[in-house]
Amino acid sequence: VYFGSFIGYLVVSWMNDNLGRRKSILIGLGVSFIGIVIIAQGKYDVAQVGLFLAGFGIDPSVNTIFYFISETVENKSRQKHSTIIQFFFSLAGIVNVVNYLIFKNWRVIAYVFFVMPAAISVFLVYWFVQ
């Protein structure tokens, strides 16, 4: 995951400059979605590839989203948007722990709480970010 993030920062930084913020966010989130699906399959041999891809896309894309917000949203709303995003990141960590206590099948957790939100985020960025 960390090596994927390191490589992702290098590649996504280049994409931000050459392709634009929207395309780089879409590509990063799309790559991380593929990685999350691979992880959810549960095959140990390819899970390492999935972890690399997830790390490659998620962290650089989230930082690009903050750059995008700082460039496009006015000053008063910018703080609200950033605070809401950080709140949901923190909430996701708590919900993740509770999910593992409630649900005994990790694949259900993987598909419902990781794959579906990743697909929704790619969809929302594609349709609503200009």
How high is the pLDDT of residue 68? 83
What pLDDT is recorded for position 49?
95
CA distance 85 to 28: 17
What is the per-residue pLDDT for 22? 87
Its pTM stands at 0.85
Rounded Cα–Cα distance for residues 29 and 107 (Å): 21
Say which amino acid occupies 58. Answer: I
CA 102 to chain centre: 24
Residue located via tokens 């703080």: 79
**What per-residue confidence (pLDDT) applies to 21?**
87
Mean pLDDT by groups of 10 residues along the chain of 130 residues = 93 92 91 95 90 93 86 83 87 90 89 92 86
